[in-house]
Amino acid sequence: MQNLYIGVMSGTSMDGIDIALVNITAKNVTSIASNCYPMPADLKKHLLTLCETQQTTLQNLGEIDYQIGKLFADSINQFLKDNNIDKQKIKAIGCHGQTIYHAPNGDYPFTLQIGDANIIAAKTGITTIADFRRKDMAYGGQGAPLVPAFHKAVLQDPQINRVVLNIGGISNISVLIPNHTIIGYDTGPGNVLLDGWIKEHLGKNYDKNGLWAKTGKINQDLLKLLYKEDYFQIPAPKSTGRELFNLPWLHKKLIGTHLKAEDIQATLVEFTALSIANEINKLPIVSTLPCELLVCGGGAKNPLIMQRLSALLPSWAVLTTDTKGINGDDMEAIAFAWLAYCRINNIPSNIPEVTGASQAVCLGVYYQ
């Protein structure tokens, strides 16, 4: 008997709407179908401006919230049509929403994901679970990352030191070391700076296969300057996003420098890889067991990043999650389908040791 859920994810990179159909039981999570639907260029531009300038009006914010909600709904309906899926068979949709600001620290912690889930539920006719992060934050957590609980459920192995690395706009790790507390946090930038820099200089959305970066040379002085950011000195649990790592942040770091654009791109690749590797090298691994770094997300397709990770982590086998049966492009969409399953079945789905919350709680809010 099938137990079907749909997961929807639009990440920091804003490169599309990832949708996955997943069959979930207490023992198995099986991906059945998936697709990615494009983010309209004008809407992406508005979102990037909103995230990076943090300037808007209430009317503009409300209208973008509606547009994103409608885009999610339309994409889900198209996905159902494309895959000949009867919506009556879907238990629930798990939708992360589009993060526009994440501020878990300070006197008034909050996180803001937009994409009105009422619209999704109304236009699809399917129960929708959204607003996954704020319950964790209400109990003192970072509200992120949430995917480590899913990684633990499907990828933990008692005979392997395993780290699951998602390189999206931001990079985050889930640490699955035998007989050790599960931890997970954002290590820093993933593709966010790389994508922004090549867009600004070549008009491309991303550096395919790292080809542009390969024409440049790493500048050690700039690398050291980038790594001086306070975020890297903060102990976990911690999380970040475009509200910190963005093009304006990079431009401030570049004041007074006179480097070729391709050299900056090469340095940004090294910055991404080094900020990940430095965190992994701190881990208390079991010395008698093999070490595997399982990479997913857009960064897993950048051979230059993968090569640098292998070089910086010589004792780790650097693989993609595809080698373990989970498509790296679908990982987060599948994870939010699983989080919806947990909410429907009243299963706590945060890990307090990961987020810093005072207790485990059921995440997500019903929209019907």
Superfamily of domain 147-324: ATPase, nucleotide binding domain (3.30.420.40)
298 is in an annotated binding site: no
56 is in an annotated binding site: no
The residue count for the chain: 368
- Closest by CA to 149, choosing from 365, 343, 366, 367, is 343
65 is in an annotated binding site: no
Q: Tell me what pLDDT residue 13 has.
A: 74
By the 8 A CB rule, do 64 and 11 touch? no
pTM value? 0.92
Q: What phi, psi does 193 have (nearest 5°)?
A: -75, -40
By the 8 A CB rule, do 348 and 150 touch? no
**Helix (H) / strand (E) containing 221:** helix 220-226
By the 8 A CB rule, do 324 and 334 touch? no
15 is in an annotated binding site: yes
> Could you give the CA distance from residue 310 to residue 219 in angstroms, rounded to a whole number?
20
280 is in an annotated binding site: no
Q: Tell me what pLDDT residue 106 has.
A: 87
- The CATH classification of domain 4-143+329-367, taken from the options 3.30.420.40, 3.10.105.10, 3.40.430.10, 1.10.3720.10: 3.30.420.40
Q: Tell me what pLDDT residue 51 has.
A: 86
Q: Do domains 4-143+329-367 and 147-324 have the same CATH topology?
A: yes
Q: Tell me what pLDDT residue 113 has.
A: 95
CA max distance for the chain: 63
What are the extents of the domains in the chain?
4-143+329-367, 147-324
- Closest by CA to 112, choosing from 70, 50, 155, is 50
- Token pair for 19: 């949708």
25 is in an annotated binding site: no
Q: What phi, psi does 60 have (nearest 5°)?
A: -65, -45
356 is in an annotated binding site: no
By the 8 A CB rule, do 190 and 272 touch? yes
> Could you give the CA distance from residue 154 to residue 22 in angstroms, rounded to a whole number?
13
> Could you give the CA distance from residue 10 to residue 244 in angstroms, rounded to a whole number?
19
328 is in an annotated binding site: no
pLDDT tens across the length of the chain (368 residues): 689 999 999 977 787 999 999 999 988 999 999 999 999 999 999 998 888 888 999 999 999 999 999 999 999 999 999 999 999 999 999 999 999 999 999 899 999 999 999 999 999 999 999 999 999 999 999 999 999 999 999 999 999 999 999 999 999 999 999 999 999 999 999 999 999 999 999 999 999 999 999 999 999 999 999 999 999 999 988 999 988 999 999 999 999 999 999 999 999 999 999 999 999 999 999 999 999 999 999 999 999 999 999 999 999 999 999 999 999 999 999 999 999 999 999 999 999 999 999 999 999 999 99
The dihedral of CA 278, 283, 237, 341: what is its sign?
positive
